[in-house]
A and B are shown apart, each in its own frame.
Chain A
């Protein structure tokens, strides 16, 4: 047991080991982001669809399902951030004397700002959870205002909460800015995880790169469509 633990702790201590964990947790978050977006797009299908979806999430496994997902996501986000912050610190330490003349030949802007796009997304996640999950500074937890009758059952009115939430333009603006940063983060991150997990080949790499960009674009368009539809096209009004 201790020999196994020894090997695994050396795996985490190594550069490649940390990177593989970043890639695996990143992959989990990539899948989550897609599922989250598809669920949210139900807002376009009307109050019934999204409220039923919200109720299904809240009540799955007698309410335990949502907590299993939350703890899993928290672990993934935690490992992803801890490892990348440690890696970034050691990257900075590896070159203390900067070049007088800097040149970049192929590295994309997105790849060079991963830590900053990532930390901004972290700030956004905190805001987003306070906004729609914990619901502080708003009335979304008030059953008198945000209840919906679904097949005779009283459930939370997710639809009205989303419409009201995005009707305040500064919130919508912050969401759109965060999604643009998520786009740059994913445009490097998605293809990068195939490289780090050792799955890219000469033949598949161009495909993975295109896939990464397409995926990032899909997420940014899908997610931004909701606040834009509410603010500019009067969705739910």
Chain B
């Protein structure tokens, strides 16, 4: 084990106020610590000095909950491919490095404190259509709906989205298209998702627009940043599904108008 000496530039901000970078020296950081453990060590020292610790989001620390965030050196979840911040280890840095640590920046993700942002816009998008309506009661028979292996696999790839918001943070326009396309595409691919496909697609896209995210400019920074490697081909599918849904809504008969965005 070796110890690292790092210069941190950490974003400090209270809700509703303007923020600033604070220079923090992080000495003697074990290289086997995770990035969040490094933040824990830094916070312990701040508390010992009687200073305010840095607020950041974290939960499972196993790379599956989608809670940890942070933009590290301009990249959400840091420079490692397909890795969440909690799974990023300090051995990826060198002693003497300067590390910029910022929140996920987007108007739709307002800062709560320091590195914590409010990502409940994603919850509202999900509520606008990111579900299938099923009957309650006893569990349905297994395999009563047959689904091709390739379709099931593709839907599973989309379902790998943990809703962390790295796509929004990485996007030059703070667009949420990768998240929305994965969540809509997962259900739109499956037989269970077909009855509500039009309503889901329109509802989720309208809610996305309403939350103040930007627009996709096909630059694919989102895909590069995604810790679960969600493909931008889901965005292709969402574009297609949205065009079809609009035609259905405008000219189709018997399809209920989506009110998801209202």
A residues at B contact (CB < 8 Å):
3-4, 7-8, 10-11, 13-20, 87, 90-91, 93-108, 111-112, 114, 188, 191-192, 195-202, 205
Known: A94-B174, A108-B219. A100 touches B106 (CB 8 A): no
Q: From residue 192 to 222 of chain B, which have CB atoms closer than 8 A to chain A?
A: 205-206, 208-209, 212-221
- Are B209 and A101 closer than 8 Å at their CB atoms? no
Chain B: minimal CB distance from A14 (Å): 6
Closest beta carbon of chain A to B97's beta carbon, Å: 12
Task: Tell me, yes or no, whether B249 is within 8 Å of chain A by CB.
Answer: yes
Q: How far is the CB of B22 from chain A (nearest CB, A)?
A: 11
Q: What B residues does A102 contact at CB under 8 A?
A: 74
Say yes or no: A103-B105 contact (C-beta < 8 A), given A195-B235, A195-B236.
no
| B164 interface hit (Cβ, 8 Å) | no
In contact, A15 and B219 (Cβ under 8 angstroms) = no
The reply on B175 being an interface residue by CB < 8 A is: yes
Provide 6 A-B residue pairs closer than 8 Å at the C-beta atoms, listed in order of the A residue: A14-B209, A15-B215, A97-B105, A99-B74, A196-B216, A201-B236
Whether A195 and B218, one on each chain, are in contact in the complex, defined by CB atoms closer than 8 angstroms, is: yes
Given contacts A14-B205, A20-B243, contact A107 B220 (CB under 8 A): yes
Q: Which of B220-243 contact A (CB under 8 A)?
A: 220-221, 223-225, 231-233, 235-243
- Closest residue to A104 on the B side, CB-wise? B221
For the complex formed, measure the closest distance between the CB of A74 and the CB atoms of chain B, giving whole angstroms.
Answer: 25
Among candidates A87, A96, A108, A200, residue contacting B215 with C-beta atoms closer than 8 Å? A87
Residues of chain B contacted by A14 (CB below 8 angstroms): 205-206, 209, 242
B contact residues around A15 at 8 Å (CB): 175, 205, 208-209, 213-216
CA A193 to CA B220, docked complex, whole Å: 14
Q: Is the CB of A7 within 8 A of B172?
A: no
Nearest CB in chain A: distance from B174 CB, A:
4
Tell me if A16 and B242 are in contact (CB < 8 A): yes
In the bound complex, CA of A4 to CA of B236 (Å):
25
A107 touches B172 (CB 8 A): yes
Q: Measured between alpha carbons, how far is A94 from B175 in the docked complex, in Å?
A: 8
Q: What chain A residues lie within 8 Å of B208 (beta carbons)?
A: 15
Contact B215 A95 (CB under 8 A): no
- The reply to whether B239 and A196 contact each other, CB–CB distance below 8 Å, is yes
Binding site for A on B (CB under 8 A): 9, 11, 19, 21, 71, 73-75, 100, 102, 105-108, 170, 172-175, 205-206, 208-209, 212-221, 223-225, 231-233, 235-243, 246, 249-251, 257
Name which residue of chain B comes closest to A93, CB basis.
B107
* Residue of B with least CB distance to A95: B174
Docked CA distance A188–B175 (Å) = 18
Contacts of B235 in A (CB 8 A): 195
Inter-subunit contact B220/A100 (CB<8 Å): no
Chain B residue at minimum C-beta to C-beta distance from A13: B209
Inside 8 A of B9's CB, which chain A residues have their CB? 100-101
B218 x A196 contact (CB < 8 A): yes
Answer whether A197 and B219 are a contact pair too, CB < 8 Å, given A93-B107, A94-B175.
no
Question: For residue B246, which residues in chain A have a CB less than 8 angstroms away from its CB?
Answer: 7-8, 10-11, 17
Q: Contact at A20–B239, with CB atoms within 8 Å?
A: yes
**Lowest 9 CB-CB distances: which A-B pairs, in order?**
A198-B240, A103-B74, A94-B214, A7-B250, A101-B100, A91-B173, A107-B219, A94-B174, A105-B224
Contacts of A106 in B (CB 8 A): 219-221, 223-224
B75 partner residues in chain A, CB cutoff 8 A: 103, 105
**Given A16-B205, A101-B102, A200:B233 Cβ within 8 A:** yes
Q: B214 to chain A: which residues have CB within 8 Å?
A: 15, 90-91, 93-95
